[in-house]
């Protein structure tokens, strides 16, 4: 369901990321963290994986650890 190519699922994914971004802004989350999370989630929705090289090194361990516990 999360990666289903149907247009309704695509709209849902876009809305989910927009809602997450809005909430993070309300919580005064630093932009770099907000952007990294939203981009990584969008990348996973589209491709099923998140390549570390696209993100700052300070986030590599967090991204890697999600894969290590089975978040594929």
For residue 72, what are the domain limits?
30-72
- Judge if pTM exceeds 0.85: no
Place of tokens 């990348």: 43
The whole-angstrom separation of Cα 71 and Cα 6 is 22
| Domain assignment present for 8 | no
Largest CA distance in the chain: 34
Domains in the chain, number: 1
* pLDDT classification of 29: cutoffs 50, 70, 90: very high
DSSP 8-state code for residue 48: S
- Residue 66 lies inside a defined structural domain of this protein: yes
51 falls within a domain: yes
Q: What is the pLDDT of residues 41-68, one digit of tens each?
A: 999 888 888 888 999 999 888 888 866 6
Angle among Cα 16, 41, 64 to the nearest 5 degrees reads 150
Residue 18 lies in a domain: no
Instruction: Please identify which residue in the block is written with the tokens 């990294």.
Output: 36
């Amino acid at each position: 369901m999360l990666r289903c190519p149907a247009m309704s699922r695509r709209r849902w994914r876009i809305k989910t990321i927009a809602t997450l971004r809005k909430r993070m802004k309300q919580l005064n989350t630093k932009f770099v963290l907000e952007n990294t999370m939203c981009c990584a989630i969008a990348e996973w929705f589209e491709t099923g994986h998140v390549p570390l090289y696209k993100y700052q090194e300070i986030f590599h361990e967090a991204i890697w650890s999600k894969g290590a516990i089975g978040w594929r």
